[in-house]
Structure 1
Amino acid sequence: MALPRLTFLVHRGKDYTLQHYFKTWGAELRERVAIKTYPGVGATGRTWSKRLSRRLKALRTGTLPPGRTPPAGSVYVFTDLEIMASRESELVRALARRLEAAPGTTLFNDPARALTRFDLLRALSAGGVNSFGVEKLDRGVSPERWPVFTRDDRSHDDGSVSELLHSSGELSRHLDDLAAGGADLGHRTLVEYVGSPGEDGLFRKYAAIRLGDAIIPCHVFFGQHWVVKHSEVFDEATAREELKYIEANPHQEVLHRAFELAGIEYGRADYGVVNGRVEIWEINTNPYLIRPEYTQQETRRAALAAFSDRFNDALRELLDR
């Protein structure tokens, strides 16, 4: 049996994002892709530390664990880069260097150049994509504009870890609370807030996937709060708006530029549109494509199918090259 030409590499326990999609909406392509856990990444303890050191040494001296030779033209997609511990990142970078030595191999999200979280947002601001600034909390912060919020660099689930802070006094009290709770400020970022609800009073979170050369609109979520993690409003108007967004792909050009600045060929950009300008909040390198519960949201079925058709077409084109 021929080996898949495209392999997604994921952190231990993080394969569910892809497994669900390829069991359902992408089932026809499941046999053409591989989903594998990074070797040595995600375990804990002294024994793991010793194994990690041995694996790093093996990678650096040019010997890989025994296995089949990848087919010519293989594509390896590095995911979960934003949640790696430092030693894990070191191993993943070494793995990337060994894999790219194989003839015709392509790396998506090469860990040597892909930017995540803080570095990503700084690059997007410097590159003129975003208008807002970010600072590391442990470096001393002096926001140029208010309000601001703080967030954990290592987690997609927590999102922002504060409410909006409107003054230096509120920020100072928040920092005191974090310190009292033992928070590592080196992993927390202060973000200048930009955003506003639409004329209907709803906040919108847009999301689009990059896969190779393709930008594929994924969803629009609607909510009452400035942090929109999941859609809270399901009616005919929001269904029409979401489907129109997916079909029109209105922000393709600026999103492609943002992904290029980030050095990311596979991932999902989460963003808002403020006064007509795209403002990117993060790029997730191992996103859910379609969550299981979304299938039960009948008003969104047309939008989910439209996204899936476009994603599968882009994946098929990549596999058939």
Structure 2
Amino acid sequence: MILIITTPEHRYTHLNLYRDTALDIEVASYDDVLKRRTPRRATHVFTDLDRLPSWRVHEAALMYRKVRDAGFRALNDPACFLGRFGLLRGLNRAGINDFDAYRVDGIEAPRIWPVFLRLEGDHHAPVSGLLEDQASLNRALQKAIERGAPRSALLIIEYAAEPVRSGLYRKLSVFRVGDRMLGYTCVHDDNWLVKYGTSGIATADLYDEEYRLIAENPFGAAAKKAFDLAGIEYGRVDFGLVGGKPQFYEINSNPYVSLEPKAPNNERRSASLKLFRTNYIEAVKGIDFAPRGSWRVKSSVAARRAELFPGRASRVLTRVFRARPGTPSAERVTT
């Protein structure tokens, strides 16, 4: 059993796995998990840590330790997690990233222009476009604050992107599942802010390269350094190449997982999706908690007790053979 723990409104990220695979996975909210006195027999994967208030992170860290002390496996120690600023600053200081980040409420000024504004812990688009100098940064800051952006959460991030070719930008990603690094499909767009992608912009040679990136994962070792620095053992890191060197932008501890094996009218992308699906399922099986022997054999004992104590036994069986939730509609497919 693998228990993916998320914020209540972001449980959809892994629900497709119920339908698409035979993996023994359940998605649960922090509300459900943290109210338990003792942890369940499962690998616990703590996600959405950047969306939690500090007091909730503390509670999650205490549960992480209960899980570990009970002899079960736990991934993503909440007490070790770094947010966006800590990650970007750490990557820069470690010489992994060439660009830096700054807190608006700090006293540092950017070294490299242009820059842009983002909110700590936010997964939407940046608060501003590219800003070329201090005067434009000051105006953008004032505008963001007037619109309600908390000054304490605003970050200044130096621009670090490079087109693959004229007018075409690409975002690369690597998944981490325990000790496994998995190359993932790319997103292609016509501007530096690559998020959902622009359909039809990528050429056949880019899809050939995408397959190679998944098959060989040449940036897996570099990605692992970013994951280790962030304290993340399960998630997805997004990055781009600048001068051939990976520049890591963010790590999502609760990435949307769709294992759809086909892309309409694109055989090479379909082959890439199929390869990632195989790699991901194999990696997830590798983190599944498997106690010695199978505790499920006790179900026959519970069934016998049902004849003698129907009320009590039915409650036991309900917990053992609980129904899984339904699945939401798929997210927008990246290209």
TM interval, shorter chain, is 0.7 to 0.9
RMSD: 2.2
Does the aligned pair in 2 maintain the 1:290–1:304 contact within 8 Å? no
- 1:12 is aligned to 8
Does the aligned pair in 2 maintain the 1:93–1:111 contact within 8 Å? yes
- 1:83 is aligned to 51
TM superposition score normalised by structure 1:
0.83
- 1:187 is aligned to 153
Does the aligned pair in 1 maintain the 2:81–2:230 contact within 8 Å? yes
1:121-180: CA deviation from partner (whole Å, max 9, x where unpaired): 111112221111111112234111101011111221x13221000011110111111222
How far the C-alpha of 1:40 sits from its partner, in A, is 6.2
- 2:282 is aligned to 313
Structure 2 counterpart of 1:306, one-letter code: L
Structure 1 counterpart of 2:207, one-letter code: A
Does the aligned pair in 2 maintain the 1:204–1:222 contact within 8 Å? yes
How far the C-alpha of 1:22 sits from its partner, in A, is 3.6
Does the aligned pair in 1 maintain the 2:58–2:79 contact within 8 Å? no
1:271 and 2:239 matched = yes
Match of 1:133 among 95, 100, 103: 100
Match of 1:231 among 189, 197, 201: 197
How far the C-alpha of 1:249 sits from its partner, in A, is 0.5
- 2:118 is aligned to 151
Gaps of 5+ in 1: 42-54, 56-63
1:205 and 2:165 matched = no
Does the aligned pair in 1 maintain the 2:43–2:289 contact within 8 Å? no
- 1:38 is aligned to 30
CA distance in 2: counterparts of 1:169 and 1:245, whole angstroms = 41
CA distance in 2: counterparts of 1:7 and 1:40, whole angstroms = 11
Does the aligned pair in 2 maintain the 1:270–1:280 contact within 8 Å? yes
1:240 and 2:236 matched = no
How far the C-alpha of 1:235 sits from its partner, in A, is 4.3
Gaps of 5+ in 2: 291-335
How far the C-alpha of 1:230 sits from its partner, in A, is 1.7
Does the aligned pair in 1 maintain the 2:127–2:144 contact within 8 Å? no
Q: What is the percentage of aligned positions where both structures have the same residue?
A: 31
TM superposition score normalised by structure 2:
0.79
User: Highest Rg: 1 or 2?
Assistant: 2
CA distance in 2: counterparts of 1:21 and 1:152, whole angstroms = 30
Structure 1 counterpart of 2:80, one-letter code: R
How far the C-alpha of 1:291 sits from its partner, in A, is 7.8
Q: 1:40 to 1:312 in 2, by over 3 A?
A: closer
Structure 2 counterpart of 1:257, one-letter code: K
CA distance in 1: counterparts of 2:256 and 2:242, whole angstroms = 25
Match of 2:229 among 252, 261, 268: 261
1:76-102: CA deviation from partner (whole Å, max 9, x where unpaired): 110000111223223222322322221
- 1:251 is aligned to 219
1:216 and 2:182 matched = yes
Match of 2:79 among 105, 112, 115: 112
Match of 2:36 among 65, 72, 75: 65
Does the aligned pair in 2 maintain the 1:152–1:159 contact within 8 Å? no
The 3-state SS of whatever aligns with 1:189 is: strand
CA distance in 2: counterparts of 1:320 and 1:93, whole angstroms = 19
How far the C-alpha of 1:200 sits from its partner, in A, is 4.4
How many residue pairs get aligned? The number is 286
CA distance in 2: counterparts of 1:106 and 1:285, whole angstroms = 17
The 3-state SS of whatever aligns with 2:213 is: helix
CA distance in 2: counterparts of 1:9 and 1:251, whole angstroms = 28
How far the C-alpha of 1:264 sits from its partner, in A, is 0.7
CA distance in 2: counterparts of 1:166 and 1:159, whole angstroms = 18
Structure 2 counterpart of 1:183, one-letter code: A
- 2:293 is aligned to none
Q: 1:7 to 1:236 in 2, by over 3 A?
A: same
CA distance in 2: counterparts of 1:8 and 1:127, whole angstroms = 31
- 2:298 is aligned to none
